[in-house]
Structures are given as C-alpha cells and as structure tokens.
A and B are shown apart, each in its own frame.
Chain A
Amino acid sequence: MSGHNESILREPLITGNDITYAKITDDILMPVENKPNRAWWIGFIVSLMGATLWLVAVSYTFWNGIGSWGLNKTVGWAWDITGFVWWVGIGHAGTLISAVLLLFRQNWRNSINRSAEAMTIFAVICAATYVVSHMGRPWLAYWVLPLPNQFGSLWVNFNSPLVWDMFAISTYFSVSLLFWYTGLLPDIATIRDRATGLRRRIYSIFSFGWNGNVKTWQRFETVSLILAGISTPLVLSVHTIVSMDFATSVIPGWHTTIFPPYFVAGAIFSGFAMVLTLLLVARKVLGLENYITMFHIESMNKIIILTGSIVGVAYITEFFIAWYSGSEYEAYAFINRSTGPYWWAYWMMMTCNVISPQLLWFKKIRLSIPATWILSIVVNIGMWFERFVIIVTSLHRDYLPSSWAMFYPTWVDVSVFVGSIGVFFTLFLLFLRVLPSIAIAEVKLLLKTSSEQAKLEQIKEGHLDKTHVKEYVESLEKFDSVKQEEYAKI
C-alpha cells in the first residue's frame, strides 16, 4: 500500500500464488457461509457435553454451597482460584496480539488477532464464572460493586486487592469486547453484503450500517490505535492486580514482589500456547494454511521460548530469594514445595513450563506442527500446575502444625474445571461458525506488500540481485505451500 514498504527479504505473510482480494474473502468466509463439516460437529458435541457438565457442577455448587468443593479450614482457596487465574492468563495473549503487536507494527498479527481476541473474551467469561461461583452466595455478587446500599453507608473496601480485581477484570472484559467488536464491523458488513434473506437482515443489524467510506476507515484506524495504546497497560495491570491478591497477603510463598512481572509473563506464555492449540487445529480444519503460515507459528513459538524462559528465571529467583531472605518460613515453604507432599505438582510445573519449552530452540521442533501442538498443550498443563502449586502448597502448611492439611478435589471441583474447558470450546466453535476467524480487512492490507505474489512481482521487476533472490527462495523452503520450481521459472 502506498506509504508502506516491506523488505522483500521478509517471508510473505500470505502464501499461495493466486490470491486475490475476492479469494481472501471467499477463503475466510468459507466456514461461515457453508454448512459445518464433520470435524466441527464432533468438536462441538464433545464441547457441549463439557459445557453441560459445567452447568451441572455449578448448579450443584450453587444449590449446596461451596462445601461441595474439597476446601477445608486450612486450604480455603484451591481449584477455583487456580482455574480463575489460569483462564485470565489465557485471555492475555489475545490482547497482547491485538494491542501490543499493533503498536509495534507487527503485521503478522493481522492473521491471528481475530481468533486470539475471541479467545480472550471466552477465557475471561470462564474466569468470571469462577469468581462468581466461589463467592458462595452468587446471588449477592453485586455486593462487590461500589453501589449505594441500604446498610447505612457501607461501601466496598477500596484497599482490598479483591475489589481491585473486580474493577480490573470487568474493565478488561468490557474493553476487550469493545475492541473486538469494533474490529469486527467491516467483516460483518462483508458477510452482510454477500448474504441473502434472513441472514442478511441479521448481519445487517450487527454491522451497525458499516459502508466502508473514507472517513469511517480513517477514524477506525485511529480508534484501533488508541484502543491498542490503552489496552497494553491494561493487560499488564490486570494480571499484576491478580497477582496482588496473593502478594499483598503475608502467607509464605505468596508474599513476593516478583509476582506482578512473573504473573504477566506466565499469562502471555499460557495465552500464546492456547492460541497455538486452537489455531493449529483451526487452520487445518478450515483450510487457512495460506493465511496462518509457518512464519506465524514460528513467531508464536519464539514468544513462548521468551516468556517460558522468563517464567523459569522467576521460579529460580523465587527459590533463591526464599533462601537469601533468611526468613525460615519462606525457606520452608519453598523446600516443602519441591520435596513435600505436593512435590509431584511442583516438578510437573517445572517440567512443563521450564524444561519442555526449551525444546523450541531447535528449529526442527519450532517448525513441526505436531510437536508445536503437543508442546502448547504441555505448556497449558504446566501453567495450570503453576497456579495450583502457588495456591495449594502455600496454604496446606500453616504456621501451626496442628492445622496442616491436604487438599483433595471432589467431583464437583473436577467437573467445574473440565466443564469450563467445555464452555470455552463451545463458545469458540460457535464463533468459528458465525464470524470470520481471521480479520478479512486486515489481511487484505497485506496482499500488495507481504504476499507471495507481491514478492514474486518484485523479483520479476528486478528489485533484487541474484544472490538475494537465492536467499529469499531458501528462506521460503520451510513454508507449506511454496514450491522451488515456481521460482525457477522467473
């Protein structure tokens, strides 16, 4: 596009030789405009079963109270908060991809931001259900809001991190939703203008009357940029505040200043892993290999190595400081974590989060789809264990040995967690059917600069000398859809 030039030596962000604007629309809207295939139905039915399990388990909790969970007097927080922090963390990659990468002008975000943002919304919904259900009396959930009330002038405690949490999560959810929906408008309009009958009417309502004129587009870009600018500190603040739920307490193992950056890195780590888990399947099932290329997968893997290493350093720092602080309670908490009754959870966390992502340093593994997919799931398991380790192992040993206890989850605990994964996948699969999983307008922006054919054109016009062409062609070998012979013709 005028005003935007990209080095020809960069790998293309759209592969495939015969891509046109119309083909981009057709390809991306294929799952929206056609009947779902068998893979979708199988996934949907399985997820729906999970969602039903969630409904049963949460209803059981509401009816019988949180006594139905495995909590006891010592371990008062367990799977609920583990699940909450895990889901919020997963949500973070979406905002990171849409906001931070936009600010840094990383064009590769354009193909993945839409699904990542959708993932954020659904993950935060799952997290919010945990917050509400662990309150015990969820019908009084509005008590966390600073509302004028009939109890005299009793207000919420603004010094409490739990109130900060309420503000952070609700702001995060609503701002993410605004960002996502505003970005969807041009694409909903595209579906509308191709549809007929009732579908056209429905999409017409949701497209807000978008017509794509100059002023709307220009303001649209301003709005996206400002929203990205304010969402970036927002996403960092949300997990910082979540970590403060622990860090402002005086429990050994929780009372740590490293928590805010460590939680943020962990959130990005698990979020990117979940994006990979979802997109590696989606690109295959929906036939989007030309738009979500190996370059995207490799870039996300690189972020996973970075954040995984930050998390690893944080674990070791935590351990070191526990010893170096000279506080015997702190030191005990950490030695007990790694050698006490929950040693298996601690070492599961270390293996999944610190050791296995390091495999991604090998290019072969980084560029292997099955290996990446397995590692992304391993990371998500590891991140769940991280939260479990922080919460449960810090609580199960009190200052008084008489109140030492173990936590055993009940079927309700397990079902709420497994069920929430079902809810998440149900929502995500429905999203794939009714809205474009890739931001159509943003991908179209890349066609003239970063697509395979744009680069071929540039080579043809002689913008590169022969050695560079060779370099470029070699760099493309790792992509699925590129064949050497096609370059030989030029």
Chain B
Amino acid sequence: MSNIKYILGSFGDPDEMMHGIEKLQENNIKIHDVYTPMPIHGIEAKLGVKRSRLDILAFFCGITGTVSAFALIYLTSVVDWKHNIGGKPAFALPDFIPIMFEVTILFCAFGLVGSYYASTHLFPGRAPRVMDLRATDDRFIIAVDAQENGDHGKIDGLLKEAGALEVKHNERKYISYE
C-alpha cells in the first residue's frame, strides 16, 4: 500500500474542472472534495451536495428575535414599569414595531452566520486545511481519495485528459501551516 492519501487534479479553468468531475464520475471514481477560489455554480448538483437549510434556520432565528423583543418591551413597559407619557396607553403596539423589527434582523443575522460558521467548521484561529496553496488563488482542485480508489494511473490519466494542468499525489492529508 502506498503512502499517497490524495490525488489532486489542478485545473486552470472552471469549465475544464467540471469536465474532469464528469469524467471521474463516469468511471465510478468517488470524488473526495473540490476546492476553488470562487463559487462555481452548478457544482453542488454534480457532487450531490444537499441543499442548504440555513434559510429555514434564519427564519426561525428571526421569529425568535421578534418574540424576544416583544416579550422584553411588553414585560418592561406594560407589566413591570408603566410610564405615563402624555396619558398615552402603555401598550402601544405601533411604537414597539421598530425595535421588534431591528431585533428580528439582529437575531436572524447572528443566528444565520453563527450556524454557517459552525456547520462549515470555520472559527477564528482554526488551522487552515488546504490541500493545495493555489486553490485560493487561480487553481481549481479536484481531490480524489487515493486509499479508496486503487488504479491511480487511470485517475491521473482521466484528470489529464480533462485538461488538468498538473496532477499531484499528496502523502499528507493537508498542507497545514504547523
């Protein structure tokens, strides 16, 4: 068994990379992941990445914000400590709306971004796990798990045929910065 962990096809053009994905899939070679310097549309359908449910979550975070804001205002200025302002009613719903709206947005945004960071494992100071340093610059990288797929020569050939500028065999999982 060789020490190679990943086979990386490095493409200079997103369309060629998409072509590479198709080629590998036609040959029943499982793709580990794809790393790109920019979002490539249509790739998630090809790789079978599920639709994000962050929108549903954002909605519920927003609702939580609306309810929290209403509860805070109601409990403080209607139940706990009524102000008499020009004899106006304490329960003045239209006056509560601006704050309810702002808090809705606040909860929605923080809930959404927090969950995004959590679900994609992004947090400050996390060691970057890149396989190829140029994947954030000008290269589109297809990574194939070498242990799962036996015929390395065939994979190399397919990637090159699709237009890969370079095929690398990584012995380490990631090029981290340690």
Partner-B contacts on A (CB < 8 A): 1-4, 20-22, 25, 146, 152-155, 157-159, 161, 163-164, 167-168, 171, 174-175, 178-179, 182, 185-186, 189-190, 192-194, 200-201, 204-223, 226-227, 230-231, 233-234, 237, 241, 244, 440-442, 444-445, 448
Assess the A214–B33 pair: CB atoms within 8 A.
yes
Assess the B127–A189 pair: CB atoms within 8 A.
no
State which of A153, A182, A219, A445 has its C-beta within 8 Å of the C-beta of B52: A219
A213 to B88, CA, bound (A): 57
- Chain A's closest residue to B116 (CB) is A223
State which of A192, A208, A241, A442 has its C-beta within 8 Å of the C-beta of B98: A241
Assess the B102–A213 pair: CB atoms within 8 A.
no
* Contacts A218-B49, A445-B38; A186 near B136 (Cβ below 8 A): yes
User: B89-126 interface mask toward A, CB cutoff 8 Å, 1 = contact, 0 = none?
Assistant: 00010011011011101101110110011011111111
Q: List 5 A-B contacts (CB under 8 A).
A: A167-B102, A201-B177, A209-B122, A214-B40, A233-B101
A445 to B37, CA, bound (A): 9
Q: Which stretch in B2-10, B77-85, B149-157 binds the other chain?
A: B77-85
On chain A, the residues within 8 Å of B119 by CB distance are: 219
Shortest A199–chain B CB gap in Å is: 12
On chain B, the residues within 8 Å of A233 by CB distance are: 101, 105
- Chain A's closest residue to B121 (CB) is A209
Q: List 15 extra interface pairs beyond A178-B109, A219-B119, A237-B98, CB under 8 A.
A: A2-B41, A159-B92, A159-B95, A167-B102, A174-B110, A182-B116, A204-B127, A211-B128, A212-B130, A214-B47, A217-B36, A218-B43, A221-B39, A233-B105, A237-B101
Shortest A79–chain B CB gap in Å is: 26
* Contacts A167-B103, A212-B135; A2 near B42 (Cβ below 8 A): yes
State which of A153, A175, A208, A213 has its C-beta within 8 Å of the C-beta of B105: A175
Assess the A211–B14 pair: CB atoms within 8 A.
no
Assess the A25–B41 pair: CB atoms within 8 A.
no
Assess the B103–A171 pair: CB atoms within 8 A.
yes
A427 to B125, CA, bound (A): 24
On chain B, the residues within 8 Å of A212 by CB distance are: 35-37, 130, 135-136
Q: Judge if B138 is at the interface, Cβ distance under 8 Å.
A: yes
Q: Judge if B76 is at the interface, Cβ distance under 8 Å.
A: yes
State which of A1, A25, A158, A448 has its C-beta within 8 Å of the C-beta of B137: A25
* Contacts A153-B76, A207-B128; A21 near B37 (Cβ below 8 A): yes
On chain B, the residues within 8 Å of A445 by CB distance are: 38-39
Assess the A215–B49 pair: CB atoms within 8 A.
yes
On chain A, the residues within 8 Å of B80 by CB distance are: 153, 155
On chain A, the residues within 8 Å of B41 by CB distance are: 1-4
Assess the B109–A175 pair: CB atoms within 8 A.
yes
Shortest B61–chain A CB gap in Å is: 10
On chain A, the residues within 8 Å of B43 by CB distance are: 214, 218
| Size category, B interface | 35 or more
A441 to B88, CA, bound (A): 54
* Contacts A158-B73, A159-B92, A190-B136; A441 near B39 (Cβ below 8 A): yes
Of B47, B54, B81, B106, which is in contact with the most chain A CB atoms at under 10 Å from its CB?
B106
Assess the A21–B137 pair: CB atoms within 8 A.
yes
Of B35, B37, B41, which is in contact with the most chain A CB atoms at under 10 Å from its CB?
B37
On chain A, the residues within 8 Å of B117 by CB distance are: 208
Assess the B138–A22 pair: CB atoms within 8 A.
yes
On chain A, the residues within 8 Å of B98 by CB distance are: 161, 164, 167-168, 237, 241, 244
Shortest A123–chain B CB gap in Å is: 19
A159 to B86, CA, bound (A): 12
Q: Judge if B63 is at the interface, Cβ distance under 8 Å.
A: no
A439 to B58, CA, bound (A): 25
A25 to B47, CA, bound (A): 27
State which of A154, A171, A210, A217 has its C-beta within 8 Å of the C-beta of B39: A217
On chain B, the residues within 8 Å of A226 by CB distance are: 54-55, 58, 108, 112
Shortest A156–chain B CB gap in Å is: 8
Shortest A214–chain B CB gap in Å is: 5
- Chain B's closest residue to A157 (CB) is B83
A185 to B34, CA, bound (A): 18
State which of A2, A219, A234 has its C-beta within 8 Å of the C-beta of B15: A2
Shortest B91–chain A CB gap in Å is: 11
On chain B, the residues within 8 Å of A205 by CB distance are: 124-125
Assess the B124–A193 pair: CB atoms within 8 A.
no
- Chain A's closest residue to B129 (CB) is A211
A221 to B39, CA, bound (A): 8
Of A155, A171, A206, A445, which is in contact with the most chain B CB atoms at under 10 Å from its CB?
A171
On chain A, the residues within 8 Å of B14 by CB distance are: 1-2, 448
On chain B, the residues within 8 Å of A206 by CB distance are: 124
Assess the B38–A193 pair: CB atoms within 8 A.
no
Q: Judge if B134 is at the interface, Cβ distance under 8 Å.
A: yes
Q: Judge if B44 is at the interface, Cβ distance under 8 Å.
A: yes
Assess the B124–A208 pair: CB atoms within 8 A.
yes
Shortest B58–chain A CB gap in Å is: 5
